[in-house]
């Protein structure tokens, strides 16, 4: 009887320890506007962000689930890395290595973020037990194909899925403004990269905000993007004053 009770308690402890706090899907733009060198900057930048000690610590502590989608035109979406839980530093490093070696899924294709977001939302059916569901959409252009992005955003809000954006800009803030007005959910945010060479800095900042939690006054964990900035205001952030 005692052995059975201890076994039950041990199983409950393991279950609690491996509970997923956040499921984060990283959706990467590989449309025609992204040349081979820029694609390489994106995958290397994402891999470097995943190797950041602060990010590694949080991913493992909260047993975060990660997946990577490549997207471009209307019928051009691929789940390049399926959901993988970050249970140890080994799991994080393994995922970073997979990202660094990831082959480009599409070339010579249009930019259809509505279809990309719809594809991303469907992937969360496989991670129903995670407390938070977050889509991280990165891209360097506004739509030239596909449906209405705002409609899919409303669907995300009905499903309780947060959508954030990483806008890769050349001159101006056209992509940042589009993401803010049409893509991100009411609890989301936009970070701007000043060109693809700034992507590594921007994706590190963005992932930190997406997986970090702060405590409210009553002690409950709440999403940092909804409550506080984790970075100092700078020109690269679309929400900076």
Strand 65-71, strand 77-85: pairing: antiparallel
CATH architecture label of 20-227: 3-Layer(aba) Sandwich (3.40)
pLDDT of residue 8: 41
For residue 74, pLDDT over 60 is answered with yes
For residue 141, give Cα distances in angstroms to 63, 97, 118, 189: 33, 27, 18, 17
pLDDT, tens only, 133-150: 999 999 999 999 999 999
Per the model's pLDDT, the better-predicted residue between 215 and 19 turns out to be 19
pLDDT, tens only, 121-136: 999 999 999 999 999 9
Instruction: Name the burial class of residue 175, with classes exposed (0-12), middle (13-18) and buried (19+) by CB atoms within 10 angstroms of its CB.
Output: buried
| Mean pLDDT on 151-162 | 98
For residue 60, pLDDT over 60 is answered with yes
Task: Break the chain into its structural domains and give their ranges.
Answer: 20-227
Single pTM value for the model: 0.83
For residue 181, pLDDT over 80 is answered with yes
Mean pLDDT rounded to a whole number for the chain: 86
For residue 191, pLDDT over 80 is answered with yes
pLDDT, tens only, 10-57: 333 334 447 899 999 999 999 999 999 999 999 999 999 999 999 999
């Amino acid at each position: 009887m005692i052995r059975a009770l201890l076994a039950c308690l041990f199983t409950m402890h393991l279950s609690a320890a491996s509970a997923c706090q956040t499921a984060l899907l990283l959706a990467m733009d590989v449309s025609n506007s992204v040349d081979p060198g820029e694609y390489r900057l994106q995958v290397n930048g994402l891999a470097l962000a995943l190797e950041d000690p602060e990010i590694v610590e949080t991913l493992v502590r909260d047993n975060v689930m990660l997946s990577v989608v490549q997207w471009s035109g209307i019928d051009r979406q691929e789940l390049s890395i399926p959901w993988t839980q970050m249970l140890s530093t080994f799991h994080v490093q393994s995922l970073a290595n997979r990202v660094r070696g990831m082959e480009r899924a599409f070339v010579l294709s249009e930019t259809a973020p509505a279809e990309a977001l719809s594809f991303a939302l469907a992937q969360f059916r496989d991670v129903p037990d995670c407390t938070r569901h977050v889509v991280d959409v990165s891209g360097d252009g506004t739509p030239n194909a596909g449906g209405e992005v705002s409609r899919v955003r409303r669907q995300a809000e009905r499903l309780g899925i947060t959508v954030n954006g990483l806008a890769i800009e050349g001159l101006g803030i056209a992509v940042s403004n589009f993401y803010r007005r049409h893509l991100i959910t009411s609890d989301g945010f936009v970070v701007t990269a000043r060109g693809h060479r700034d992507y590594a800095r921007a994706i590190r900042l963005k992932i930190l905000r997406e997986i970090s939690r702060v405590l409210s006054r009553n002690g409950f964990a709440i999403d940092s993007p909804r409550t506080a900035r984790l970075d100092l205001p700078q020109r690269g952030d679309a929400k900076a004053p």
